[in-house]
Amino acid sequence: MNLENLDKILNKYGKEVVAQAKENLQNADPSKGGGALEDSISYELDTEKDFFLLDFLMESYGKFVDQGVQGKDPNEIYKNNDDKKGVQKAPLSKFKYTNKMPPMQILADWAKKKNIRFRNKLGQYQKGTNIQMGFALQRSIYYQGIKPTFFFSKPYNRMLKKLDNEIFKAFVLDIEEAIILGKKQ
């Protein structure tokens, strides 16, 4: 049986989820938009005789950007400063830093590219190298974690709710067309 309507619905769903995920990524963090993660977001629909398989693809670190990562111990970041407390940025994430810090050189390169610099309490620029900034970012991320963006989860789940009814309608249409036109499998 030809399931052309079902195929159209699943392709539409894949395209919409990908488009919204890319838009959400740009809105959540403009620094992430237009980069390797956004460029890697895509989908593949594999249609076989007995099944449909819809795969969403992206860079491997996309799941950490989407779901966030729990920090090891947020209070460790300000242990010498009683006035401040660290914040757990992703308390509900299934991902967690335990014994390995994020790569410092990537963070240093990112800080250089984005011109991120140290500032004092008055907001004025302070001296510091990109390597020092990389170590500071590494330490902050390790102890406090990465805040989730849900750039992919939100459109995926929102569209999934709508998909149930549309799949049913498309499948019924395909069956009706097969019966009316007398198509064989």
What tens digit of pLDDT does each residue of 103-116 get? 999 999 989 988 88
Tell me if residue 124 falls in helix, strand or coil: coil
| 89 and 36 co-located in one domain | no
Residue 59 has pLDDT above 90, yes or no: yes
| 92 and 133 co-located in one domain | yes
Tell me if residue 146 falls in helix, strand or coil: strand
Q: SS3 for 24-75, per residue?
A: HHHHHCCCCCCCHHHHHCEEEEEECCCCEEEEEECCCCHHHHHHCEECCCHH
Number of H helices, E strands in the chain: 6, 4
Q: Which amino acid is at 120?
A: N
- Render pLDDT for 109-154 as a digit per residue (tens, 0 to 9): 989 988 889 988 888 999 999 999 999 999 999 999 999 999 999 9
Tell me if residue 173 falls in helix, strand or coil: helix
Q: How far apart are CA 71 and CA 60, in angstroms?
A: 19
Q: How far apart are CA 127 and CA 117, in angstroms?
A: 8
Q: Which pLDDT value is given to residue 161?
A: 85
- What is the arithmetic mean of pLDDT over 6-30? 87
Q: How many domains is the chain partitioned into structurally?
A: 2
Residue 29 has pLDDT above 80, yes or no: no
| 156 and 132 co-located in one domain | no
Q: Which pLDDT value is given to residue 140?
A: 92
Ranked by mean pLDDT, the top range of 101-105, 119-123, 157-161, 166-170 is 101-105
Tell me if residue 145 falls in helix, strand or coil: strand
CA distances to 26, 67, 91, 118, 170 from 94, in Å: 24, 8, 9, 31, 36
| 12 and 55 co-located in one domain | yes
Where in the sequence is the domain holding 174, given as residue range(s)? 4-64+149-181
Predicted confidence band of residue 33 (pLDDT cuts 50, 70, 90): low
| 102 and 129 co-located in one domain | yes
Q: What percent of the chain has pLDDT over 90?
A: 50
| 11 and 40 co-located in one domain | yes
Q: With contact defined as beta carbons under 8 Å apart, do 151 and 28 qualify? A: yes
Contacts 24+ apart (CB under 8 A), 89-92: 89/144, 89/145, 89/146, 89/147, 90/145, 90/146, 90/147, 90/148
| 89 and 24 co-located in one domain | no
pTM: predicted TM-score of the whole model, two decimal places: 0.79
- What is the arithmetic mean of pLDDT over 75-103? 89
